[in-house]
A and B are shown apart, each in its own frame.
Chain A
Amino acid sequence: MQKTEGEESKAENEEVKQVTLMTSDGVKMKVEISIVYEMEIVRSFIEVNDADHSVPFPLPNVSSHTLDLIIELVKNEYDDEFMKTFSHDELKEVLVAANYLNMKTLLDFIATAIANLLEKKSVEFIRNFFNIVNDFTPEEEAEIRKTNEWVFQDLDED
């Protein structure tokens, strides 16, 4: 909490420049310009147009909840511990949003995080995670597994 208070007093003293973003669910959020500048899609627009920052910039593909998570991630300099509190859907939503907002560092960070999560998971877990229907016949699947049995050893429990 101390950190937050510190930031608030800083905001009062120096009047940190903020940009208003409007999320897909119609929420207007004031975001520090340093964070906004990581979003290439917004940055390029602001730089070209030197727009009035009080007019909300619409982000029709990002929900307010996802934007909250992204802001916290950037504020905490991509903290692993914080990200571990995310649900699977939150991880995927942040990935989609990072891609849409063209945030390269965040996209890389979150894709790596998801890869780490999935690394030792079973095939069944992966199908659930990505909502994929298995279109192999049981015979075909057994055949594929047989060619490389050792990769099915030593997995996390789902």
Chain B
Amino acid sequence: MEPVFKNRVNNTNLTNREDKSQGSCAGALPFGTKRQLPKAKIDRSRTFRCRYSTIPTEEYMYKSTREGTLSTEEGRSLGRVLEKGSSISSLYVELYAAYRILKDSKMKRDNCRGARTRRRRRNRTNVLLPLDLILHILLRLPVKSLARFKSVCKSWFSLISDSQFAISHFELAAACTERLVFLEPIVPEFRSIDLNGSLHDPSASAALNLNFMSPESTYVQILGSCRGFVLLDCFQNLCLWNPSTGIHKQVCHSPIASDMDTMLYTFLHGFGYDPSTDDYLVVQGSIKVDLEGDTRVEVFSVRANAWKEIEGIHLSYMNCCDDMKPGVLFNGAIHWLAFRYDVSLNVIVVFDLAERSFSEILLPDDFISQLDFCHLAVFGDFLSICVVGCQCPADIWVMKEYKMQSSWTKSVEVFVDEIPTQQFTPICSTKSGDIVGTDGANGLVKCNSEGQPQEHRSYCNSRHASQVALYTESLLSLPCDSDQAEED
């Protein structure tokens, strides 16, 4: 391969090459450079209007190009039409080329006169990119870079802050990176951790700004994450927070959950997005402590900024373990492990965000682990059940085909002997296939794809375990109906 590259300029079968200098030829100005041109009047009798602009007629074009009388303005308007890819006759394409060559040779002549000054200026001028191409590049940059480039200039600041830009950026998956939000207990302090590099790389972890949280909020719990937003339970209220941009919104607790008299225990918490209504939803399921009633489900719509109970559903679920575990977002639905008390069976409860309805997924046939030590996650592109390793290997089961019970497969075992705490709680896999999890205390462990621990890093000393959640970096903001009304 190498030799071909080294001679790349000489290798090609060029004819008639005069100028071997780098960049464009001596006559043409670099791309994008704005050139001041005298405005020539276009004779209306010799022009016609096409889709994009007024251009010279074919006949006039033909004649004037031959005689060299075509004005710069006329040439330019034709060039613009061709640039738009308009399907005008092939003669124009040829005529335009002829015109350009004529013009370039003219400019070369001009160049020779003021060669010295002009060349000095050329070396200094970079190639200028039009805004749509700059946009192509920006959309492919990670959020961290974009947040930094807001301070390049005012127009970049407004472009990067624009909500439409944020949506395009999020939808172009190439630019999206996942990070881990790591909550140190009691303090509380948040970190954002990049799992793709080494855990010991000092740049992999950064403290996040928490200026929105009141200093009394010592009890904070992570309840979910979706499209760059993390849902936090801050005791007095819930909070939606985008760690990449700092955007946050306080949400009051649901009417049912905050009504102490009803003796309801909230055991399902979830957070997701419904693309059909472009709305973020917080879902909460509560059960009467005396076990006689149904499960009651409430949904908070961020767009409507209100809680609403879903009427007419009769569910017979209760929590399958004492710790309330946040729902896992996968395939447009939120998933929880739960116990179905009418048939005494552990199942996965599924809430479809668009349909706002429940369904079930059965656990693997030969699954015998106690659900106290299990949680749901997404590994690779699969919904997974993870069994915490505690003095025994941690297991990861993946559902190869969604909602197909027979497709459950035990994919990997993680050995905990080399981990200082002898514990491993799987969280996710990285781009390169490594498996990351917590050590059950305040550290992270990274294992290779075979389940062999490779790295361990502890982030703080505390008697209480840290909480973690994955989030996709995004510049997105939250929808709000009142804003839209103003725009309309």
12 extra A-B contacts, CB within 8 A, seeds A29-B13, A60-B79, A63-B23: A24-B100, A24-B104, A41-B85, A56-B97, A57-B93, A58-B98, A63-B28, A65-B25, A72-B5, A144-B150, A148-B209, A150-B207
Are A58 and B94 in contact (CB-based, < 8 A)? yes
Interface residues of B in 135-163 (CB under 8 A from A): 136-142, 144-145, 147-154, 156-157
By Cβ-Cβ distance, the 3 closest A-B pairs, closest first, are A58-B97, A25-B25, A154-B203
**In-complex Cβ contact of A119 among B18, B87, B141 (8 A):** B141
Residues of A within 8 A of B208 (CB): 150
Are A150 and B15 in contact (CB-based, < 8 A)? no
Residues of B within 8 A of A111 (CB): 133, 136-137, 139-140
Are B147 and A96 in contact (CB-based, < 8 A)? no
Are B11 and A25 in contact (CB-based, < 8 A)? no
CA distance A86 to B145 in the complex (A): 22
Known A-B contacts A45-B93, A64-B25, A85-B5; the reply to A25 vs B104 at CB < 8 A is yes
How does the 8 Å CB contact mask read for B172-205 relative to A, with 1 for contact and 0 for none?
0011000000000000000010000000001100
CA distance A132 to B279 in the complex (A): 37
Are B152 and A123 in contact (CB-based, < 8 A)? yes
**In-complex Cβ contact of A28 among B15, B25, B174 (8 A):** B15
Are A151 and B144 in contact (CB-based, < 8 A)? yes
**In-complex Cβ contact of A25 among B4, B19, B141, B246 (8 A):** B19
Residues of A within 8 A of B154 (CB): 135-136
How does the 8 Å CB contact mask read for A44-68 relative to B, with 1 for contact and 0 for none?
1100110100011110110111101
B32 at the interface (CB under 8 A from A): yes
Residues of A within 8 A of B25 (CB): 24-26, 63-65
Known A-B contacts A25-B27, A27-B16; the reply to A126 vs B152 at CB < 8 A is yes
Interface size on B, residues (CB 8 A): 80
Residues of B within 8 A of A102 (CB): 85
Q: How far is the CB of B151 from chain A (nearest CB, A)?
A: 5
B31 at the interface (CB under 8 A from A): yes
Taking beta carbons and an 8 Å cutoff, which residues of A are in contact with B? 1, 3-4, 22, 24-30, 41, 44-45, 48-49, 51, 55-58, 60-61, 63-66, 68-69, 71-72, 76, 79, 81-82, 85, 87-90, 92-93, 95-96, 99-100, 102, 107, 111-112, 114-115, 118-123, 126-136, 141, 144-145, 147-154
Q: DSSP class of A's interface residues: helix, strand, loop or mixed?
A: helix
B484 at the interface (CB under 8 A from A): no
Known A-B contacts A61-B31, A144-B157; the reply to A136 vs B136 at CB < 8 A is no
Number of A-B contacts (CB under 8 A): 213
CA distance A95 to B202 in the complex (A): 35
CA distance A32 to B422 in the complex (A): 62
Residues of B within 8 A of A88 (CB): 126-127
Known A-B contacts A87-B22, A88-B126, A93-B24; the reply to A118 vs B145 at CB < 8 A is yes
B90 at the interface (CB under 8 A from A): yes
Known A-B contacts A24-B28, A63-B25, A115-B141; the reply to A95 vs B17 at CB < 8 A is no
**In-complex Cβ contact of A3 among B4, B17, B104 (8 A):** B4
Residues of A within 8 A of B126 (CB): 88-89, 92, 128-131
CA distance A58 to B104 in the complex (A): 14
Residues of A within 8 A of B32 (CB): 96
Q: How far is the CB of A28 from chain B (nearest CB, A)?
A: 6
